[in-house]
A and B are shown apart, each in its own frame.
Chain A
Amino acid sequence: MIISVASGKGGTGKTTIAVNLAICLTDVQFLDCDVEGPNAHIFLKPQISDVKKAVIPVPEIDEAKCIHCGTCQEVCAFKAIAVLPRNDSGKGNVLIFPHLCHGCGACSLLCPQKAIREVDKDIGTIEIGTKNEMHFVHGRLKPGEAMSPPLIRQVKTYINSTKTVIIDAPPGTSCPVITAVKGSDFCILVTEPTPFGLNDLILAVEVLRKLKITFGVVINRSDIGDGKVESFCQEENIPILMRIPFSREIAIHYSQGVPIVEKDISYRVQFKNLYSKICEIANEANRRH
Chain B
Amino acid sequence: MKQIAVISGKGGTGKTTVTGSLAALSQNKIIVDCDVDAADLHLLLHPTIKERHEFISGLTAVIDKQLCRKCKRCVSVCRFAAITPELTIEPFSCEGCGLCSRVCQNGAIHMKEKVAGEWFVSQTQYGSFVHAKLGIAEDNSGKLVAEIRRVAQELAESEKSDYILIDGPPGIGCPVIASLSGIDCALIVTEPTLSGLHDAQRVMEVAQHFKIPVKLVVNKFDLNPTMTQQIEEFCQKQGVQVIGKIAFDPIIVKALIDRKIIIEYANCPASDELRKIWEELKN
Contact = CB atoms under 8 A, between A and B. Distances in A.
B173 interface: yes
Interface residues of A, number: 58
A158 interface: no
- In terms of DSSP, what is the predominant structure of the interface of chain A? loop
Q: What's the interface size class on B, roughly? A: 35 or more
A175 B80 CA distance: 13
B38 A226 contact: no
B67 interface: no
A207 B136 contact: yes
B99 A105 contact: yes
Interface string A81-102: 0000000000000000000001
B141 interface: yes
Contact of A226 (B8, B37, B95, B257): B257
Contact of B194 (A75, A171, A206, A256): A256
Task: Tell me which of B10, B136, B192, B198 has the highest count of chain A C-beta atoms within 10 A of its own C-beta.
Answer: B136
B142 A146 contact: yes
B223 A109 contact: no
Nearest to B220: A251
Interface stretch (A8-16, A22-30, A159-167): A8-16
A171 to B, nearest CB: 4
B27 to A, nearest CB: 26
B162 interface: no
Contacts of A8: 38
B12 A104 contact: no
A145 interface: yes
B84 to A, nearest CB: 13
A248 interface: yes
Given A42-B195, A195-B256, A172 B170 contact: yes
Contact of A105 (B77, B174, B210): B77
Most chain A CB inside 10 Å of its own CB: which residue of B11, B140, B141, B174? B11
A268 B121 CA distance: 49
A37 B99 contact: no
B122 interface: no
Contacts of B50: none
5 contacts: A39-B199, A105-B77, A143-B205, A172-B171, A252-B224
Interface of A: 8-12, 15, 36-37, 39, 42, 75, 77-78, 102-106, 109-110, 141, 143-149, 170-178, 182, 194-196, 199-200, 203, 206-207, 210-211, 224-226, 248, 251-252, 254-257
Given A77-B96, A172-B141, 16 more contacts: A9-B40, A10-B8, A11-B191, A37-B202, A103-B79, A104-B95, A104-B99, A147-B174, A171-B11, A176-B173, A195-B40, A199-B38, A199-B43, A225-B257, A255-B227, A257-B195
